[in-house]
């Protein structure tokens, strides 16, 4: 039995005509790192919200099919219980700061306070999570005085401290510079290696190729393709459907037409490209 089990899920936001998700079938095993790619309006965020329980519990609307995480059916659970198993972090770090706390340390403890974690347990857990994301030095700063990258790591830490079984990330690095991106991916990889199941929406193909176990390509609310990162990210189908691809993939594709790329497989990352052009 898979850890995440989406069975024929179709969902429509209130007051809209077309469904945001159509007949989604997705199985993810425990400890797997799955990346979701797709153009704007493909339903990536909606899928994240569905996994995190906000669809349908927060957004309402019509849902059919079944959503199961860790053996619990979403429709039979409530949001406040669901969030104990599933953590969600999204794009804009600024809006993820609760606004109720004056220091980063308090901000990270917010989720623990809400869920009734005893005080003696709280402090070591916050410290441990901050060490993991390497933000211990920010503990006494105001969350609003931080840079975007730092805020995003605080937001991520605030979720990790709650020890979710599944981590859902909706473009957490979209507003970050390369250094911030590397830091966030570093944290996520650590979590994945520690056995946490991760589902992540991301546009940075090279990073996905380096980190993810599997890639799911969404288009118009449907699963277009899924498989190993290298297979999916270099597929012609993605180009035909207007997906962004890595610059190394498009370079090598052009080179292949000119007879300069000899290998069968196209590259996604710089290393693969260098390797392939050497031959």
The residues binding other proteins (CB under 8 A) are 49, 52, 54, 58, 79-80, 83-84, 87-90, 92, 94-102, 105-106, 109-119, 122-123, 142, 144-145, 155, 158-159, 162
**Nearest-approach distance from CB 193 to other proteins, in angstroms:** 23
Nearer CB in complex with other proteins: 85/269: 85
Nearer CB in complex with other proteins: 96/234: 96
**Nearest-approach distance from CB 163 to other proteins, in angstroms:** 12
Nearer CB in complex with other proteins: 58/265: 58
> Which contacts of 267-274 are long-range, i.e. CB under 8 A and separated by 24 or more positions?
267/234, 268/205, 268/206, 268/208, 268/209, 268/229, 268/230, 268/233, 268/234, 269/206, 269/209, 269/210, 270/206, 272/209, 272/230, 272/248, 273/248
Spatial CB neighbours of 31, under 8 Å, sequence gap ≥ 6 = 3, 192, 195, 196, 197
**Nearest-approach distance from CB 149 to other proteins, in angstroms:** 17
CA-to-CA separations, 130 to 14, 80, 108, 140, 160, in angstroms, rounded = 39, 24, 8, 12, 9
Nearer CB in complex with other proteins: 122/255: 122
**Nearest-approach distance from CB 198 to other proteins, in angstroms:** 15
Strand ranges (E), 13-61: 21-28, 33-37
Nearer CB in complex with other proteins: 1/100: 100
**Nearest-approach distance from CB 116 to other proteins, in angstroms:** 4
**Nearest-approach distance from CB 125 to other proteins, in angstroms:** 11
* Residue for token pair 């306070």: 113
Count Cα atoms within 13 angstroms, Cβ side, for 95.
7
Nearer CB in complex with other proteins: 162/266: 162
Nearer CB in complex with other proteins: 35/83: 83
CA separation for the pair 59, 37 (Å, rounded): 23
Q: Which residues of 155-179 are buried (b: 16+ CB within 10 A; e: fewer)?
A: bbbbbbbbbbbbbbbbbbbebbeee
**Nearest-approach distance from CB 95 to other proteins, in angstroms:** 4
């Amino acid at each position: 039995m898979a850890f995440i089990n989406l069975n024929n899920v179709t969902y429509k936001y209130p007051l809209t005509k077309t469904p945001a998700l159509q007949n989604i079938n997705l199985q993810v095993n425990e400890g797997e790192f799955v990346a979701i790619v797709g153009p704007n309006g493909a339903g990536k965020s909606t899928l994240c919200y569905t996994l995190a329980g906000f669809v349908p519990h927060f957004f309402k609307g019509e849902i059919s099919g079944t959503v199961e995480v860790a053996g619990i059916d979403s429709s039979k659970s409530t949001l406040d219980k669901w969030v104990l198993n599933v953590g969600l972090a999204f794009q804009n770090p600024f809006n993820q700061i609760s606004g109720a706390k004056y220091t980063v340390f308090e901000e990270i403890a917010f989720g623990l306070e809400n869920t009734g974690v005893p005080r003696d347990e709280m402090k070591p857990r916050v410290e441990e999570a901050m060490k993991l994301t390497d933000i211990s030095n920010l503990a006494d700063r105001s969350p609003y005085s931080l840079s975007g990258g730092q805020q995003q790591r605080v937001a991520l830490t605030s979720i990790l401290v709650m020890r979710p079984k599944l981590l859902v990330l909706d473009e957490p690095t979209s507003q970050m510079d390369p250094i911030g991106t590397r830091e966030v991916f570093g944290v996520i990889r650590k979590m994945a290696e520690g056995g946490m199941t991760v589902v992540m929406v991301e546009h940075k193909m090279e990073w996905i190729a380096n980190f993810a176990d599997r890639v799911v390509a969404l288009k118009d609310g449907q699963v277009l393709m899924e498989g190993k990162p290298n297979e999916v990210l270099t597929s012609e189908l993605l180009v035909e459907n207007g997906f962004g691809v890595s610059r190394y993939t498009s370079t090598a594709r052009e080179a292949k037409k000119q007879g300069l790329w000899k290998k069968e497989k196209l590259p996604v990352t710089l290393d693969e490209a260098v390797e392939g052009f050497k031959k």
